Amino acid sequence: GDGEEGIESSLSKKLSSPKSQKLFDIIISKQSNLCLSADCETWQELISIGEVVGSKICAMKTHVDALSFQDPNEIALFKRKLAELASEHNFVIIEDRKFADIGSTVMKQLTAAPFSISEWAHFVTVHSIPGPGMLKAFKEKDKGVILIAEMSSVGNLPSILPDYKKKTLEMVEESGNEDIVVGFVSQSRVGSSLGGKGGGGSATCFLQFTPGVSLHSTGDALGQQYVTVRNAILERDADVIIVGRGILQQGREKWVEAAEQYRKEGWEALKEKLQL
Ligand code: 5FU
């Protein structure tokens, strides 16, 4: 074959876990490193946009507690439809819950009805603040963890505090949790890069998910800060770009066109970065 095998064998670095490898395989086969941040007002709208742009994304990121539902039956329907969409279009579901508590509490938040996040999310976002013990909860439920190493918002403490990013990486390595941590939400590289720069050739590396990406805006009134797709991937070393309003605010009739623009720019920049 041409493309796929060549691309995979040209990666000199090893990804941390089968879970990150699975996402990387999706990225290569769909030629997309675009994660849609599906910050819709209703669950019905989220399902609609998933149907329309599902073929253009490698992942969909949700905030299930920010969606409006009329009753628990709607939540059950939502979970089923979302899981169907993800398997039909071959994308990963990331619930951006930003868990930040002791393991025992996190376990309840992960499993409790009505959201029952562990039933339908492949990956979840987690703050490193509570320390490594809570990672066991995610391991037990076989969830991929994306740790927050830096945020995109003005004045966020993880980006300001010296060593926060480094300590977040050390927490994963020292507690032996590389197999469930698929990567980091970050604005710069944590550990060794998938691309040419930084780290040794045989180092294990993690995927970098970078939010705060827009081709239309530089920020919002509540502290969000944006960079362009190329800047996120080529300057900040993102592997996966997370885009919400950049696509959503184009309006329903332009969702596909906008998603295609971010997919194409993202994929071109990723190929350039990884020298594929
Ligand atoms: F961890 C982070 C972060 O540092 N910045 C973010 O913006 C998460 N996010 C999420 O990405 C945020 O909660 C939104 O869901 C999304 C960005 O949406 P936007 O519409 O592209 O600004």
Mutate to test the pocket of ligand 1, among 96, 154, 218 (most ligand atoms within 8 A of CB): 96
Provide residues with CB under 6 Å of ligand 1: 37, 39, 63, 96, 148, 151-152, 185, 211-212, 224, 242-246
CA of 95 relative to ligand 1 center, distance in Å:
12
**pTM for the full model?**
0.95
Residue 105: exposed, middle, or buried by beta-carbon count in 10 A (0-12, 13-18, 19+)?
A: middle
The pLDDT profile of the chain, 276 residues, written as one tens digit per residue, is 344 545 554 566 789 899 999 999 999 999 999 999 999 999 999 999 999 999 999 999 999 999 999 999 999 999 999 999 999 999 999 999 999 999 999 999 999 999 999 999 999 999 999 999 999 999 999 999 999 999 999 999 999 999 999 999 999 999 999 999 999 999 999 999 987 654 455 578 999 999 999 999 999 999 999 999 999 999 999 999 999 999 999 999 999 999 999 999 999 999 999 998
CA-based angle 217:219:223, to the nearest 5?
Answer: 165
Active-site residue flag, 61: no
Amino acid letter at 65? Answer: D
Amino acid letter at 157? Answer: L
Contact 202, 14 (CB under 8 A): yes
Residue with CA nearest ligand 1 atom 8: 211
ipTM (interface predicted TM): 0.99
CA of 214 relative to ligand 1 center, distance in Å:
11
Q: DSSP characters for 39-70? A: --SBHHHHHHHHHHHGGG-SEEEE-GGGSB-S
Q: Quick one: DSSP state of residue 149?
A: -
Helix, strand, coil share of the chain (percent; to 5)? 45, 20, 35
Q: Out of 14, 22, 81, 98, pick the active-site residue.
A: 98
Please report the atom of ligand 1 found closest to the CA of residue 187.
4
